[in-house]
Structure 1
Amino acid sequence: MDKVVYVHLIFEKKDYFFSSIAAIYDHLDAQRVGASYNTLRNVRWKDTSVHTTPRAVVRIGRLLRAGRGGRENVP
């Protein structure tokens, strides 16, 4: 299971997919996201999978891959 971080920039109507929260800030600045790296890092991601800022919607999910061993139950 791999983590994927989805960022939707509300006013720009653009979607981005990243491998980590840190990777967001290699490509976008905090002003465009509407939150600093430390703010997103401190979100309780175990309690929620979505964090909304004034400028963006940030979601963390699972990247499902093809593989051996049958099907996995997907919620």
Structure 2
Amino acid sequence: MTGINKLLRNESKIMLWVLIGPIAIGLTLVFLLSLFENSIDECLDAGGSFNYESCECDFKKSHTAPIQHHCK
């Protein structure tokens, strides 16, 4: 009987990690990605325009957002 219980216990741990693992990874990625976009959002919230060429906030000139940018 103890062999079967140990097997079921191990399987339940594996199933738990299969469920919790992707959720934990997803939440971590969402948190990390929100940190990268934070500087652009802070600039726009403060009333500035984000210069995507120099990756800096500009309060004097308005800049258009490109389709893709390299700023983090």
TM bucket normalised to smaller: under 0.3
**Structure (1/2) with the larger strand percentage:** 1
Q: Which of the pair has the greater relative contact order for Cα pairs under 8 Å at 6+ separation?
A: 1
**Structure (1/2) with the larger helix percentage:** 2
Structure possessing the higher radius of gyration over alpha carbons: 2
